[in-house]
Structure 1
Amino acid sequence: MLLSTFELLLKPITPTPGTVSGSDRGILQGYFLNIANPTNNSLRLRLRFNAQSPNIDRSKLLVIRDTGGSNDFANLTAQNTYDFRLAAGDTGLVILQPDIRNLDPTNVADRVEIRGYVEIFVVGFFPFPFRGRGFQLLATPEHRGTFLPNPGGSGEFDQLISSLPTMSGGSLINVDTVPPFPIPFPNPPVAIPDLQPIPDFPVIDNGTNSNGASSIPAGDPQLVGIQQLLSAMADQIDDINQRLPQEAEQPVS
Structure 2
Amino acid sequence: MTIAVVTWKEVDAALSTVIDPELDEPITDLGFVTERVVTGGDVLVRLRLPTAFCSPSFAYLMASDAEDAIARLPGVASVRVLLDDHHDSDRINAGVAARNGFVAAYPREAAGELDELRKVFQVKAHAAYIERACTVMLREYGWEVADLGRLTFGDLPTEGVREGLGRRRSALGLDTSTDSLVMVDADGTAWPADRIELRLRFAKAIRISIDGNAHFCRGLLRTRYPESAADQRARAQDATPHERVEAS
- TM class by shorter chain equals under 0.3
Determine which structure has the larger helix proportion and give its number. 2
Q: Which has the higher contact order (CA 8 A, sep 6+)?
A: 1
